[in-house]
Amino acid sequence: MREAKEEVGLDVKPVRFLGFHEVVPPNGEASAKYNRRHYFFFDFLCTTKSAEVKLDFNELQEYFWIDPRKALRKRLGTYTRLTVQEYLKTKRKYKNRD
């Protein structure tokens, strides 16, 4: 939740856990960018009272909102794709409960 506030200025409230990813970049050019660190990503479905994004312009330079189904037609990183797919699966699961 801290990352959302720092990077896009949004106060978010977690609603549901979507997934966990562990990443250790391989040796080579890509690993130099990440300093061979070991990363853990915890993905949550969140709500917010405002969708007014305020970029930090450090880690993020631009943004756009997109329907998750349309996002899957874009070139996404592996873990981003998995998270969007899990979101859509979770959304369908809880929609069908009503």
pLDDT in tens, the chain (98 residues): 888 888 899 999 999 999 998 887 776 555 556 566 788 889 999 999 988 999 888 888 899 899 999 999 999 988 899 999 999 998 877 666 54
Residue ranges of the alpha helices (H) in 35-77? 68-71
pLDDT of residue 98: 46
Instruction: Return d(Cα 98, Cα 85) in angstroms, integer.
Output: 21
For the chain, what's the residue count?
98
Domain 2-95 class in CATH: alpha beta
Instruction: Return d(Cα 76, Cα 69) in angstroms, integer.
Output: 12
Neighbours of 59 (CB within 10 A): 10
pLDDT of residue 3: 84
On whether the pTM is more than 0.85, the answer is no
Instruction: Return d(Cα 98, Cα 95) in angstroms, integer.
Output: 6
